[in-house]
Amino acid sequence: MPSPSRSRPRRTASAAPRAPWGWAAAGVLVGVLPAVITFAPAQWLAQAVDHASSGQVLLAQARGTVWTGSAQLVLTGGGASQDRAALPGRLEWRLRPTMRGLQAQVHAACCMPAPLQARVDARWGGARLALADGQSQFPAGLLTGLGTPWNTLQPQGQLAVQTQGLEAVWTAGRLALTGTAQLDARAMSSRLSTLRPMGSYRLVLQGGDVPTLSLSTLDGDLQLSGSGQWVGQRLRFAGEASAKPEREAALANLLNIIGRRSGARSIITVG
């Protein structure tokens, strides 16, 4: 009588031991990654700004790191445009991560009496940007770098910016604004007119359920006025420009460019 067959023991699969080089690679990664993040070159930030602005805002000659650095701010027409204008001096920044997002400090010695403070917080389905109250002043000639129509107007003067309680919140693709931003264009002139200066003007952005934009003349022979509001994500603005009767000849070329002529007035529409 044949003897019962003995069952052979089955081999059980076991996880292969991690090779020494695998542990070494993991250790190097853990040690190197924080250093890479901490000392990320400023050029990485410059590339991100270039991409986000479609090439219209450049951080040229960037130095330092993503977190603490400086560069020359340059505005361009984007794409193949040859128009560009640089802010005098260098722009300095300091970025610090927070529990919810990022805290930023930006300073340009030429144009800001104190650094601009901002905070970005991530939110469910969106983000929040809050600017600390502040003021700054820039040469209007910087706008010529943006190309049309600024390269034709060639504005000269000073742009004074002031913000109060300004906050932007993006939720599900929609933008909500609170607070105010005021831009004063002082002692403005243009190559299209021999009149220098033409006047001073104020543009006010007012947040709310429906953000509004208003334009008024502070003084001068060129009179500007208008108002608008955001409908969805689009700005609809209607305004007009005119000259004091004794200055119509000196401002005729400019009035023909900035809007559609209707008698002595030039009608300005956006959106």
For residues 31 and 41, what is the distance between their CA atoms, to the nearest angstrom?
Answer: 18
Which residue type occupies 16?
A
The single residue listed with the structure tokens 């190309």 is: 147
**Which pLDDT tens digit goes with each residue over 78-116?**
888 899 999 999 999 999 999 989 999 999 999 999 999
**Which pLDDT tens digit goes with each residue over 202-260?**
999 999 989 999 999 999 999 999 999 988 778 999 999 999 999 999 999 999 999 99
* Residue 206 CB partners (closer than 8 Å, separation 6+): 180, 212, 213, 214
Whether residue 36 is predicted with pLDDT greater than 60 in this model: the reply is no
Q: In the chain, count H helices and then E strands.
A: 4, 16
Question: Buried b / exposed e across 185-200, counting CB within 10 Å, b at 16+?
Answer: bbebbbebbebebbbb
Instruction: Check: pTM over 0.85? Answer yes or no.
Output: no
pLDDT for 241 equals: 97
Whether residue 28 is predicted with pLDDT greater than 50 in this model: the reply is no
